[in-house]
A = this chain, B = another copy of it.
Amino acid sequence: MKKPLILITNDDGYTAPGITLLAEIAQEFGDVVVIAPDGPQSGQSSALTVTVPLRVILKDSRPGYKLYKTNGKPADCIKVGLNKILGQKPDLILSGINHGSNASLNVIYSGTMGAALEGAIVGIPAIGFSITTHSWEADFTEGIPYIKKIIEEVVENSLPEGVCLNVNLPENDISGIKVCRQSRGIWHKEFIENIDPRGQEYFWLTGKYLNTEPESTDTDIWALDNGYVSIVPTRCDLTDYAYLEELNKNYENEG
């Protein structure tokens, strides 16, 4: 049987410990091609590089493993891999392991998940992995068996078209896995305001996350706060079907 082909990217850049470990784990499941940004691309969502060309540079190659860096964002990496580099459709797309949580509404801003959504769009099973600490010294030891288990489950059962997985891992004291929904929440106090050395005002993005439904036990934030690895099935169809029906009534004489 032919070995599966696995395409990997991230948003912390190709030298991050998280992607290095993910590529090692993935090699137990198949041949691996890493195409990752040449530097940090956090908060890039599904952004695409449109005004400059992409360069794709081979950094490492050995049997069953290739590593490319690009000047692109995470979604660009998947697109250029699928269209130009791989030469065949991969069996699985992995993104991460991101240094920092992509739970709750962070999924909206996450380059890690922007890359995973590319898989959902074209019908290739895709998983985005993140660990809740931003530190590059993050200890992934406890998480490794869970990452392997989740990859195994996807290899075995695949994923529906249009759906990828958003997986977040606590660093320590992991109690198990919870399949959950994206928690509602908001960011507040989102900017530092200051004066630069030339006397000009500036604003710099920061922010505190507020869980607006701390009592709910079916959310990814609850799972992580209680020591579980969270898995949120995440879709690329953003239609709100419930409100579609209601809104239709307001326009029913317009057709």
Q: Could you list which residues of chain A lie within 8 angstroms of chain B, going by C-beta atoms?
A: 40, 42-51, 53-56, 73, 75-76, 79-80, 82-84, 105, 107-109, 114, 117, 121-122, 153, 157, 159-160, 162-163, 166, 176-182, 184, 186, 189-191, 193-194, 196, 200-205, 228, 231-241, 243-244, 247-248, 250-251, 254-255
Contact = CB atoms under 8 A, between A and B. Distances in A.
Nearest to A200: B55
A79 B190 contact: yes
Given A117-B108, A202-B53, A239 B179 contact: no
A239 B181 contact: yes
A244 B219 CA distance: 11
A54 B204 contact: yes
A94 to B, nearest CB: 17
A16 to B, nearest CB: 16
Contacts of A186: 121-122
A194 to B, nearest CB: 8
Q: Which secondary structure dominates chain A's binding surface?
A: mixed
A196 B200 CA distance: 40
User: How many copies altogether?
Assistant: 2
Contacts of A114: 45
Given A48-B109, A83-B190, A204-B54, A244 B179 contact: yes
Given A239-B182, A240-B163, A247-B233, A42 B46 contact: no
A70 to B, nearest CB: 9
A123 B224 CA distance: 25
Contacts of A235: 238-240, 243
A53 B121 contact: no
Nearest to A232: B239
A43 B47 contact: yes
B79 A109 contact: no
A53 B247 contact: no
Given A46-B45, A108-B117, A196-B53, A79 B238 contact: no
B196 A237 contact: no
Nearest to A218: B244
A133 to B, nearest CB: 17
A205 B163 contact: no
B121 A251 contact: no
